[in-house]
Every structure is written in structure tokens, then in C-alpha cells.
Amino acid sequence: MSSYQQFQSVEHLLCWFSFKLLGSAQHTLRAFTRHPSVVSRLLSTMAPTAKYNVLFVLGGPGAGKGTQCEKIVAKYGYVHLSAGDLLRAERADKTSKNGDLIEWYITNGAIVPVEITIELIKNAMENTTSTNSFLIDGFPRNKDNLDGWTKIMDDKAEVKQVLNFDLSEEECLARAMKRGETSGRTDDNVESFKKRFVTFKESTQPIIDHFEVKNLVTTISSVPGPDEVFVEVCKVLDNLQ
């Protein structure tokens, strides 16, 4: 039996390698030569991992969050993760065990359970190798979302800023109905919109207030055209660079 086969688990072997790393470069080199994959795992666990840089993008339904995210991606290179798009894609996946459940929540303007949403966001972030900077659009939408984020992602991601796009209910409704003419979204109708807007005011506004206390919120009026709104967005993001 080789000296490496005496260990009962990979964890025991890693501990042994840790000792060798601290004790002898010669032993480390020999171990790496014989078991490169295991030593690579050890080194990866020892190396500090940079946190994800996150911008939360919030605002009422139809406030223009998606439009501004597209412009941010084009200019600043962030990866845009729309919680709504991720959920709709999961709903459309015939193999998903959560598809029908997600459909019910979206159609009724309710907030999908945080365990589902967080898992989709986390997977999307982990599968991105081009950058560690993310725009997360439409999340967190309530205290449960925020608590789930804090529990699962707080040690993995740092919230740099919260962009809150402000628009009246009447204007949000008009824009959502116009979008509904071509979007094909089942929630772009008057009944679903009204439920979603109530949810936003009752559940998401307190989350914005939470981040406001931490001086992380910039509220931007969505009344002007998209290009004018983006000028204000750029003022915020340029200060983060």
C-alpha cells in the first residue's frame, strides 16, 4: 500500500498535504507530481476567492429596469441576471420540477419562494467566467428574498449599489401594457400588473428602505427617455469604478 492510500478520505489527505506545504517544498513538489489534481484542490481552498460585485436593480413593473440593464451591460461589461427571466426560463423547461409552481406565482403576481430564485441566481453566477460583476434585476423583492440572499450569498457577494427606478403606477401600467403587445409574457396584463404593483409597494419598497439606511440606494426617475435616464445611471456607476 502506498503512503497515500493510508488516508481514509480526501480531507485527511488534504490535511496531510497542508502539513507538507508548510514543512517542505521538496515534499510538496513530490506530492504534486504524484497527485496533481488533489494538490490543486488544496491550493484552490487555500487561495482567497474574490467576492462577486453586485448591483441590485429595483423598481416597479414596467419602470424600465431591463432597458437600463442592457445599456449598463453594453458600456460597463456587467453580466445581467434578471430574476424574472431566470424564473420564466425555468418555468418553460419541461424537465423542471418547479415549472408549474413558478407559473402559479408569476400569473398571480406573487413572489416565487426564495429557495428557487436564489438557486437559479447562484447557478448563473457560478457558471459565468467572463466577469465577477453582476446586475441582478428584480431581486430581492421581499424580506424573505433578502434573508435568503444574506444566508446563502453574503459571504460570496458584495452589494455595491442598489439602483431604484422610480415611476408612477399609472405610467408603469401604460408601459407594461405597451410591452405586452409584443413580449408574449403571461403577466403583461392589467390584472397581473395590479397584483405585481401592490406586491412591489408592500414587499419590495421596505427592501429599498433597508438598503437606504446603509447608504446604498440611488433613486433615479424613469420619467425621461431611456437615454436621459442612462445619463443619471452613468453618474452613479462612474463613481463605483
Residue 138 among known ligand-binding residues: yes
Residue 30 among known ligand-binding residues: no
Residue length of the chain: 241
- Distance, in Å, from the CA atom of 204 to the CA atom of 207, rounded to the nearest integer, reads 5
- Measured in degrees and rounded to the nearest 5, phi and psi for residue 168 equal -65, 160
Measured distance CA(169)–CA(61) in Å, rounded? 9
175 is in an annotated binding site: no
Helical pair 143-153 and 114-126, crossing angle rounded to 10 deg: 40
Q: Is 112 labeled as ligand-binding?
A: yes
Is there a binding annotation on residue 118? no
**Is 196 annotated to bind ligand?**
yes
User: Residue 47 annotated as binding?
Assistant: no
Residue 63 annotated in ligand binding: yes
Any binding-site annotation on 34? no
Q: Is 239 annotated as a binding residue?
A: no
Integer angstrom CA distances of residue 1 from 6, 93, 229: 7, 49, 69
Q: Is 109 annotated in some ligand binding site?
A: no
Q: Is residue 53 part of an annotated ligand binding site?
A: no
- Residue 38, annotated as binding a ligand: no
124 is in an annotated binding site: no
Cα–Cα distance between 135 and 56 in angstroms, integer?
Answer: 6
C-alpha cell at 24: 517542505
Q: Is there a contact between 91 and 106 (Cβ–Cβ < 8 Å)?
A: yes
Distance CA 201, CA 167 (A): 12
Contact yes or no for 149/140 (Cβ under 8 A): yes
Q: Beta 157-166 vs 52-59: how paired, if at all?
A: parallel
- Return all residues near 47 (Cβ < 8 A) that are at least 6 apart: none
Q: Confirm whether residue 67 is marked as ligand binding.
A: yes
Annotated binding site: 62-67, 88, 110-112, 138-141, 145, 179, 185, 196, 224
Annotated binding site for ATP: 62-67, 179, 224
Annotated binding site for a ribonucleoside 5'-phosphate: 88, 110-112, 138-141, 185, 196
Annotated binding site for CMP: 145
